[in-house]
Amino acid sequence: MILKQFELTGKKALVTGGSYGLGKAFAEALLEAGAEVGIVDISNELPAAVKALKKSGLVTGIKADLLKRPERKRAFQKFLKTFGTIDILVNNAGITRRNRAEEFALEDWDQVIELNLTAVFDFCSMAGKVMLKKGSGKIINIASLLSFFGGLKVPAYTASKGGVAQLTKALSNEWASRGVNVNALAPGYMATPLNTALLKDKARSCQILERIPAGRWGKPEDLKGALVFLASPASDYMHGAVLVVDGGYLGR
Ligand SMILES: NC(=O)c1ccc[n+]([C@@H]2O[C@H](COP(=O)([O-])OP(=O)(O)OC[C@H]3O[C@@H](n4cnc5c(N)ncnc54)[C@H](O)[C@@H]3O)[C@@H](O)[C@H]2O)c1
C-alpha cells in the first residue's frame, strides 16, 4: 500500500537542465515512477538525452536559455501547451564560476545569481500560479551543501544556493495551506560536469573525499529515490524542508 504513494502515473513534470548531470537522472527517475516529463535546457545534448530517456517513458525536450527572462516565459508556455498542466517542477539547472572572492567578476556574479536563484523564483512563480489554482503541486528546488556553509572560491554560487534554501521556506509558508509542497533537495559532492574543475584539483578533491563518511563521491542515481519521494504523495506533509543527500558529509 505505501509503495502506491510513490507512484507518479500521469503526472506532468518539468525539469530544468536535464540534458546531462543530475537533471537527466531526475528526469529518468520521474519517468520510471510514471510521470510525463518536459526537459527545458540550453544544451545541444538535449535531443540525445530525450532520445535515450524515451525508453523510460513519455519525454519531450524544450530548448531554452534560462539566463534569458523572455525565454523562460516562452519555455514555460510551451510546456503548458504540450502537457496541458504542471504537477511537478524540478528547478535543477545551475552553473558555477570559480575565482577568489577579491577577483570575482561582477558579470560572473550576475550570471550565477540569474540562473541559480532568479530563474528558480521565476519558475516557482509561473508554476505556482497553475498549481495554486488547482490546489495541488510539488516544487523541488535543487539546493546544495553550500546552502549550509560558505565553500571556497564560489561566492556567487554559495549566495545563490543559500538563497534557494531560504526561498523554498518563504514560498512554502505561503503555499503549504493551499496544497502546494515546496521543498529543496541538497545533494552532496556529486561527480558531474559541474564539478570538472573541482575534480581536477587533486588536493581539494581528496580533502572532500576524506570527509565523506560513505567513502565516495555521489553519483546522479544516488538522488533518484529522494527526488521521487519529494515529487510524490508520500511527502504530502513535508513543506519547506531542505533534504540533504550527501553520503554523510554534513554530519561529519
Ligand atoms: N554536482 C554537484 O556536486 C552538485 C551538488 C549540489 C548541488 N548541485 C546542483 O544540482 C544542479 C545540477 O547540477 P549538475 O552537477 O548536474 O550540473 P551540470 O553542469 O552537470 O548540468 C547542468 C545542466 O543545466 C543546464 N544548463 C546550464 N545552463 C543553462 C541555461 N542557461 N539554460 C538552460 N539550461 C542550462 C546544462 O545544459 C545541464 O543540462 C545545479 O543546480 C547544481 O548547483 C550539484
* Lowest mean pLDDT across 25-29, 92-96, 199-203, 221-225: 199-203
pLDDT computed for residue 179 by the predictor: 98
Distances (CA, A) of 33 to 3, 36, 132: 11, 9, 24
Please state, in angstroms and rounded to a whole number, the distance separating the CA atoms of residues 43 and 95: 13
What residues have CB less than 8 Å from 31, skipping those under 6 apart? 37, 53, 56, 57, 58, 59
User: Residue 26: which pLDDT band, with cuts at 50, 70 and 90?
Assistant: very high
User: Residue 11: which pLDDT band, with cuts at 50, 70 and 90?
Assistant: very high
Ligand 1 centre and the CA of 142: distance in Å?
Answer: 9
Please state the rounded mean pLDDT for residues 63-80. 98
| Start-to-end Cα distance in the chain | 36
Exposure on the CB side of residue 158, measured as CA atoms within 13 A: 13
Ligand 1 centre and the CA of 189: distance in Å?
Answer: 13
Please state the rounded mean pLDDT for residues 48-72. 98
175-195 pLDDT, tens per residue? 999 999 999 999 999 999 999
Which alpha helices (DSSP H) does 55-154 contain, by range? 69-83, 106-113, 119-134
Residue nearest to atom 2 of ligand 1 (CA): 190
Please state the rounded mean pLDDT for residues 153-167. 98
Nearest residue to 164 via CA among 138, 148, 141, 140: 141
What residues have CB less than 8 Å from 28, skipping those under 6 apart? 53, 56, 224
Ligand 1 centre and the CA of 49: distance in Å?
Answer: 14
DSSP assignment of 52-75, as one string?
A: HHGGGS-EEEEE--TTSHHHHHHH
Distances (CA, A) of 238 to 6, 161, 173: 14, 20, 12
Mutation pick for ligand 1 pocket among 22, 62, 120, 205 (CB with most ligand atoms within 8 Å):
22
Mean pLDDT of the chain: 97
Q: Which CATH architecture has domain 2-191+220-244?
A: 3-Layer(aba) Sandwich (3.40)
- Ligand 1 nearest-atom number relative to CA 16: 34
Annotated active-site residue 20? The verdict is no
Ligand 1 centre and the CA of 1: distance in Å?
Answer: 35
Helix (H) or strand (E) holding 231: helix 224-231
- Using CB distances shorter than 6 Å, the residues near ligand 1 are 17-23, 41-43, 65-67, 92-95, 115, 142, 144, 187, 189-190, 192-195
Confidence (pTM):
0.98
